[in-house]
Amino acid sequence: MSIQKQILDQIKQAKTVIIHRHKRPDPDAIGSQMGLAEIIKASFPDKRVFCAGKNFPGFKWLGTADEIPDDQYKDALVIVVDTANQPRVDDARYTKGKTLVKIDHHPNDDQFGDLMWVIPEASSTSELIFDFYDMFRSELTLSDEGARLLYAGIVGDTGRFMYPSTSSHTFEVASKLTKYHFSASDVNQAEDEIDMPLARLSAYAYENLKMLPSGAAYLVLSNEILKPFGLGDESTSSIVPLPGRIKEVISWAIFVQQKEGDYRIRLRSKGPAINELAKAYGGGGHPLASGAVIESDDQIKDFVRDLDNLVKKNK
């Protein structure tokens, strides 16, 4: 029996399904989570379906997560989507259900769950959720809203179909989704537009990006720097692709200080694989898109040195 069929059987058996995604979500995390929820709701109206996680105003257009009482986890099927490792799961109650399923497209370094369906070659978890629906379309229903959410997730994780993970299958899935009744252009616009504070931060990023002769680059956004912009950590994700538009930049890191004082590192590359470097600093991810965390300003120099050496070695 295929892993997809086992997951479908678990969904059919469960009276309550609770879907989690990763902390500090992006469109794919929310799109795959809420897209899957829409499929289950439309296919099995008698089931209780919840989406767990913190809500962020910037993603309200994708939907809002639910308030979930603890007792709903008893005998529930819990599905964690788009989350590579357990510390990143939003809402620690994901272990409280009867059965745990992991659906993801990141490298499967942290293998957790009773069932795991992980395809690192997929462009996004939203693509996988559509494949799941498509495989069992005789038994499942995809609503227009579900299609909108999955399309948003794919657009987000492919960088508007610019990233190397975009395949012919990705375009095929996107084509099928756009046949549903929603505005693809509205989704594209929502993912592309920024407000004035973020525009000012974008200008700051270009002005203050530090470029090394190797092609490595980095930007430090401390709490002091971010304060005048009135933006939280979740808002800074929009500026992560910006250094990649500069021809001379090969790999780059953006250090975003958290309220607690440590730094979240958003790491990207046009060529050299950077996920092993991320793992060395307690993180992980894809070869060209990863993340990590450092505890203090002192470690920034160490990380930049390691990034510089990595780019030099692989240039």
Signed CA dihedral, 63, 83, 301, 314: sign only: negative
Is it the case that residue 221 has pLDDT exceeding 90? yes
Is it the case that residue 251 has pLDDT exceeding 90? yes
Taking the C-alpha atoms of residue 297 and residue 68, their distance in angstroms, rounded to an integer, is: 38
Nearest to 14 by CA among 39, 57, 44: 44
Alpha-carbon distances, residue 246 vs 211, 217, 241, 253 (angstroms): 10, 10, 10, 14
pLDDT at residue 45 in the model: 97
Nearest to 58 by CA among 186, 233, 222, 181: 233
> Over the stretch 258-313, which tens digit does the pLDDT of each residue have?
888 889 999 999 999 999 999 999 888 889 999 999 998 889 999 999 999 999 99
Is it the case that residue 234 has pLDDT exceeding 80? no
pLDDT at residue 134 in the model: 98
Is it the case that residue 233 has pLDDT exceeding 80? no
> Over the stretch 131-154, which tens digit does the pLDDT of each residue have?
999 999 999 999 999 999 999 999
pLDDT at residue 235 in the model: 73
> Over the stretch 157-204, which tens digit does the pLDDT of each residue have?
998 998 889 999 999 999 999 999 999 999 999 998 888 999 999 999
Question: All domains of the chain, ordered by start, with CATH?
Answer: 3-192 (3.90.1640.10), 198-314 (3.10.310.30)
pLDDT at residue 66 in the model: 97
Beta-carbon count within 10 A of 123 CB = 27
Beta-carbon count within 10 A of 218 CB = 21
> Over the stretch 63-111, which tens digit does the pLDDT of each residue have?
999 999 999 999 999 999 999 999 999 999 999 999 999 999 999 989 9
Q: What is the per-residue DSSP string for 206-221?
A: HHH-EE-TTSEEEEEE
Note the pTM of the prediction, 2 decimals: 0.89
pLDDT above 90 covers a percentage of the chain that reads: 83
Is it the case that residue 232 has pLDDT exceeding 80? no
pLDDT at residue 91 in the model: 97
> Which residue carries 């799961």 as its tokens?
89
Taking the C-alpha atoms of residue 88 and residue 27, their distance in angstroms, rounded to an integer, is: 16
Alpha-carbon distances, residue 192 vs 130, 175, 188 (angstroms): 23, 20, 6
